[in-house]
Amino acid sequence: MDGTFNENDISRVIEADRANVWHHLIQHQPFFTGADPKIIVEGKGIKVWDQKGIEHIDAVSGGVWTVNVGYGRETIGDAVRDAIVKMNFFGGTTGSIPGALFAEKLLTKMPGMDRVYYCNSGSEANEKAFKMVRQIAHKKYGGKKHKILYRDRDYHGTTIACLSAGGQDERNAQYGPYTPGFVRVPHCLEYRKHEQDGAPEQNYGEWAADQIEAIILREGPDTVGALCLEPVTAGGGVIEAPDGYWPRVAEICEKYDILLHIDEVVCGVGRTGEWFGYQHYGIKPDFVTMAKGVASGYAAIACMVTTNDVFDMFKDDTSDNMNYFRDISTFGGCTAGPAAAIENMRIIEDEDLLGNTVAMGDYMLDQLRALQDRHAVIGQVRGKGLFLGAELVKDRDSREPADEKMVQAVVGNCMKQAVIIGATNRSLPGRNNTLCFSPALIATTDNIDHIVGAVDTALTDVFG
């Protein structure tokens, strides 16, 4: 691929960008004075090209775990075009053809789930579930059972309520006061259990879940309405809960009549090798929220999916017919999202991308473990499907986290090699020491060798 942008055009774009755009997640002072911003101008498959025509391998699916089916999918473009030219938008109480058909298709992948509520972003989908929990508390429990538990290191979005449910403190700092009624439970990262008082040698998974029960008892079970968890924690460190965790979580929710909200914003739609991350663990959620992979970033769409048990609570209220879910999302009425999502799902099915995710995830895990044999700085490699992390430490015995700047240097070094990888979010000091890998679900062994080779070089350059 050549750099199709003429030199003058692109410098004009860079100027416009520098002068007008407030970028996400960046301190602008060095950005203004440093090198030109990177502008991605084209993508195909797992590759993207920047303004200079440099080809990159994207090991993080659009930076934030989103482009599950890869770039340049013409059939998704066609589906979106057809939908929006015929009927792009009608909001409020009405339905749409793509909206009805995608909901039907999605629910075939989610046995036990019955209703799809459309909105725009992962944060918004989570807010919908939080609002439902609060409304159920009002309907059934006189407002009392309103608290929502969330887990240390998990992330649920950027709004004030989502930050109030956020287990990554640096993202939250400076945005208080927070929404009341959100209560934190401990993380379940076994590799860091030495930092948790009382964590046992054996049966850590059960112990970590038991900490949730202890908090429910402390708060009063009649005040706790829901527990919100990521199936595999993403930005907080690529954390899969240890054996024994999920069955105890399910028991606890059942015992105390607590609704289970699973945030699949990252894991959903194939990332971990099942349609949804929770499906690995045999649990039955009451709410499932999803966004990024639903349409692989071809259109903005998020969904909050729930059961008929929940739906019926909102429908059978004959005493006061104003007690329906009094919520709207303007762009939940766009047809581009569900049209893209239908085609996205067809691609995953027809190309067996779940199968590829399992096979390539195993392959990548092996390659990263081989890298761990060569680089003492890799303390642990972990993850599920094509959603993997490598935690970097100063010392394998003490497990002291690697210095944040060194971790960023590895990411920067890979970028110079035209391989885009990620690192966990800055949270409390010592928590953004995990390299993240989430290539598109179409990744091949060649792609993975290329990515892991770049990380190998970067680790040698940075740590020796």
**Interface contacts to ligand PMP, rule CB under 6 A:** 64, 121-123, 126, 155-158, 230, 234-235, 263, 265-266, 291
85 by Cβ neighbours in 10 Å (0-12 / 13-18 / 19+) ranks as exposed
Q: How far is the CB of 263 from ligand PMP (least distance, A)?
A: 5
- Residue number with CB closer to ligand PMP (50 or 154): 154
Output the six-digit token pair for 302. Answer: 């998020």
- Residue number with CB closer to ligand PMP (126 or 357): 126
DSSP 24-39: TT--HHHHHHSSPPP-
Residue nearest to ligand PMP (CB): 122
- Residue number with CB closer to ligand PMP (158 or 372): 158
Which residue do the tokens 């005493």 mark?
319
- Residue number with CB closer to ligand PMP (165 or 364): 165
C-alpha count within 13 angstroms, C-beta hemisphere, residue 422: 24
- Residue number with CB closer to ligand PMP (126 or 335): 126
Please state whether the peptide bond connecting residue 30 to the residue before it is cis, i.e. omega within 30 degrees of 0. Answer: no
Q: How far is the CB of 65 from ligand PMP (least distance, A)?
A: 7
- Residue number with CB closer to ligand PMP (51 or 338): 338
Please choose, from the candidates 139, 145, 130, the residue with its C-alpha nearest in 3D space to the C-alpha of residue 219. Answer: 145
- Residue number with CB closer to ligand PMP (150 or 245): 150
First and final CA of the chain: distance in angstroms?
35
C-alpha count within 13 angstroms, C-beta hemisphere, residue 410: 32
Q: How far is the CB of 441 from ligand PMP (least distance, A)?
A: 17
Helical ranges in 220-293 per DSSP H: 245-256
- Map residue 276 onto helix, strand or coil: coil
| Contact of 457 with 413, CB cutoff 8 Å | yes
| Contact of 411 with 259, CB cutoff 8 Å | no
Helical ranges in 52-167 per DSSP H: 74-87, 97-108, 122-141, 160-164
Q: How far is the CB of 262 from ligand PMP (least distance, A)?
A: 10
Q: How far is the CB of 303 from ligand PMP (least distance, A)?
A: 12
C-alpha–C-alpha distance, residues 246 and 31, integer Å:
43
Q: How far is the CB of 22 from ligand PMP (least distance, A)?
A: 16
Q: How far is the CB of 64 from ligand PMP (least distance, A)?
A: 6
- Residue number with CB closer to ligand PMP (425 or 447): 425
Q: How far is the CB of 450 from ligand PMP (least distance, A)?
A: 25
Q: How far is the CB of 91 from ligand PMP (least distance, A)?
A: 19
Q: Would you report the helix, strand and coil content of the chain in percent, each value rounded to 5?
A: 45, 15, 40
- Residue number with CB closer to ligand PMP (235 or 293): 235
C-alpha–C-alpha distance, residues 270 and 294, integer Å:
9
| Contact of 53 with 40, CB cutoff 8 Å | no
